[in-house]
Amino acid sequence: MRVNDNRPLVLIVEDEPALQTLLSYNLEADGYRTAEAGDGVEGLALVSKLKPDLVVLDWMLPGMPGIDVCREIRRRPQAKDTPVLMLTARAEEADKVRGLNVGADDYLTKPFSLPELLARIRALLRRAPPQSQKGMLEFADVAMDLAERRVTRAGKGIHLGPTEFRLLQFFLQSPGTVFSREELLLSVWGADIHVEARTVDVHIRRLRLALNGDAEALPDLIRTVRAAGYSLAQE
């Protein structure tokens, strides 16, 4: 079982299944976790939900074009700093300028070589270290100091194991959002096929216990949504 998985998560928004498979296979071989969306609407939903460290975004998508997806990513407070690498079949300089104008960080014209793509992704991630690695997260009376790796509830220090820490960190990034066990596995553990969904329940239980301690007066901040998953929420 792989815990404390710090591999960057790359979201691939691409409607051609063959290219999507090729990209995720090669990104995973290069040490990334990947998530895939086949159109712009699904891509935007996953940007909000999974908080990827980088988005590879195709220009020509069914429905919402990549350029609109990029513009929308830049409008969202929690996603606006996420690096976006646009892919396009268009080679015109004017399109490149348009792409960069709406906030794409880099641009590759199809067909491109995989080493080139991987080099661009590495460069983008060097420029923008994952957002999740710094700062302070808060919800209700829970505070997480990411630099110090310290968690408090109502001002009192809480000790968490590395997996519970990452789980709470992930919840704190999207309070109120319900995540399925599969989504939690992908985001907190990485898409490791040897980890069972049941493992999530075990760590949720530990996290709950650590947050609530034996003080029955503290409300439970982790909500179990039947048949759906878990969320961080106030009663």
Binding site for Ca ion (CB under 5 A): 15, 58, 60
3-state secondary structure of 103: coil
**Residue 58 or 105: which CB sits closer to Ca ion?**
58
* Position with the least CB separation from Ca ion: 60
* Minimum CB distance to Ca ion, residue 71 (Å): 18
Q: Which of 50, 7, 1 is nearest to 27 (CA)?
A: 7
Q: For residues 109 and 65, what is the distance between their CA atoms, to the nearest angstrom? A: 16
**Residue 37 or 121: which CB sits closer to Ca ion?**
37
**Residue 5 or 14: which CB sits closer to Ca ion?**
14
Q: For residues 31 and 231, what is the distance between their CA atoms, to the nearest angstrom? A: 28
* Minimum CB distance to Ca ion, residue 10 (Å): 17
* Minimum CB distance to Ca ion, residue 35 (Å): 17
**Residue 112 or 133: which CB sits closer to Ca ion?**
112
* Minimum CB distance to Ca ion, residue 102 (Å): 17
* Minimum CB distance to Ca ion, residue 25 (Å): 18
- Give backbone dihedrals phi and psi of 233, rounded to 5 degrees, phi first: -155, 155
**Residue 15 or 106: which CB sits closer to Ca ion?**
15
Tell me which DSSP letter residue 144 carries: E
The DSSP-derived string for 48-94 is: HHH--SEEEEESS-SSS-HHHHHHHHHHSTTTTTS-EEEEES---HH
